[in-house]
Amino acid sequence: MTLTEVLISGAVGLAAGILGGLAGVGGSILILPSLAFLFGSQPDVVQHLYMAAAMTVNLVVAVPSALRHRAAGAVRGDLVRKLLPITAISLALGVLASNSFRGWQLQILLAGFLLVYCGLNIHTLLRGPQHGETAQETVTPARLLVSGGLTGLTAGLLGLGGGVLQVPLLQMLCKVKLRQAIATSSAVICLTAMIGAVLKLWSLPGLYAAAGLDGHAAVWRALILAGCMAPTAVIGARFGASLTHRLPLACVRGVITVMLIVAAIGLGRKGFLGATQAQEPTSIHSTP
């Protein structure tokens, strides 16, 4: 990688860290569209490389965020213990399932998911900032099973940390307060991100070999990308986590929504462009 590419990757990591710490979403939702926009979407299999790099950074983002949330007393240990097993198992299944998809298909799926999530966020904002924050909790084993299962499958399939789905599910299904949902999500991601990253990196050689490309070089490239983003992501995550406990809830939702809409539009555009170029020949030199 050139110095310019290293600096760009560092900037992506910083932004992803702030978002991950602020929203408890791991950072992938910003990393994936950013890498596709900045470094390209060819060869098509490169989306899997981006997912491996993003999942690796998710772990780096989640740990300092979780520590900051824990210091603020927001992490719900009772929920973490119950969510971890099902989230981890379903995430592993999601990662394995993602290997059956083309890169542009994964981009379109992720863009659609982000837009749906943003729509729900906007709906919640319009109903008022107090919605769901004063309701009595409805935490049950069945609701946590649904929350952890859907979160893991979606995160593994799309390369996310999982918080982008786990946070709203904890709120909607279990009526957990926003700050506690964000903090608990960050704690869960600490383990699930490691599982996702290992599985995706392990899958890269086979995926690249099937496309006639160097799979081992792809693994190293993913690790290099993650290494460039990780240091600044740590800084951003600590800053973002502290903002969660200072900013008004409506402000947190608004910032998250705006960033995700921009990311979704960019990623969806890349995905549809990739669909039209799916039959074009590629080479390993196209890999970032």
Place of tokens 């409805």: 138
Nearest to 53 by CA among 233, 239, 222: 222
Percent helix / strand / coil, the chain, rounded to 5: 80, 0, 20
Q: Which of 230, 90, 74, 215 is nearest to 149 (CA)?
A: 90
Cis peptide before 43 (omega within 30 of 0): yes
For 231, counting Cβ atoms within 10 Å of its Cβ (0-12 exposed, 13-18 middle, 19+ buried), the class is middle
Residue type, 267: L
Give the pLDDT mean for 153-170: 84
pLDDT digits (tens, 9 = 90+) for 31-46: 888 888 888 878 889 9
What's the confidence (pLDDT) of residue 287? 45
- Average pLDDT value over all residues in the chain: 83
pLDDT digits (tens, 9 = 90+) for 239-264: 877 776 677 767 777 777 887 788 78
Q: What pLDDT was estimated at residue 192?
A: 85
Q: How confident is the model at residue 7 (pLDDT cuts 50, 70, 90)?
A: very high
Q: In angstroms, rounded to a whole number, what is the distance separating the alpha carbons of residues 165 and 154?
A: 8
CA atoms 157, 158, 161, 167: torsion sign:
negative
Which pLDDT band, with edges at 50, 70 and 90, does 68 fall under?
Answer: confident
Task: Output the six-digit token pair for 17.
Answer: 């860290």
Which residue from 8, 37, 22 is spatially nearest to 263, judged by alpha carbons? 37
pLDDT in tens, 196-208: 899 999 999 999 9
- Kind and range of the H or E element at 22? helix 3-23
At residue 6, the pLDDT reads 92
Per-domain residue ranges for the chain?
3-277
User: First-to-last CA distance in the chain?
Assistant: 8
Question: Could you read off the pLDDT of 129-148 as tens digits, one per residue?
Answer: 454 455 688 889 999 999 99
Tell which wins on pLDDT, 194 or 19.
194
| Structure confidence at residue 128 as a pLDDT band (50, 70, 90) | low
Tokens, residue 212: 């006639």
For residue range 73-121, what is the model confidence (pLDDT) as tens digits?
888 888 999 999 999 999 999 999 999 998 888 889 888 888 887 887 7
Q: Sorting pLDDT into bands at 50, 70 and 90, what band is 284? A: very low
Whether 95 and 156 have beta carbons less than 8 Å apart is answered as: yes
Which residues lie below 8 Å from residue 51, measured CB to CB, with a gap of 6+? 28, 32, 98, 106, 158, 159, 200
207-242, pLDDT tens digit by residue? 999 989 998 999 999 999 999 999 998 888 778 777
Structure tokens at 55: 């999942």
Helix axes 215-244, 178-210, angle to 10 degrees: 170
Whether the Cβ atoms of residue 34 and residue 12 lie closer than 8 Å to each other: yes
Written as six digits, the tokens of 179 are 């700050």
Residue type (1 letter), 163: G
What does the DSSP assignment read for 156-199? HHHT--SHHHHHHHHHHHH---HHHHHHHHHHHHHHHHHHHHHH
Q: Please report the pLDDT score of residue 249 as a whole number.
A: 66
DSSP letter at 132?
Answer: T
Which pLDDT belongs to residue 74? 83
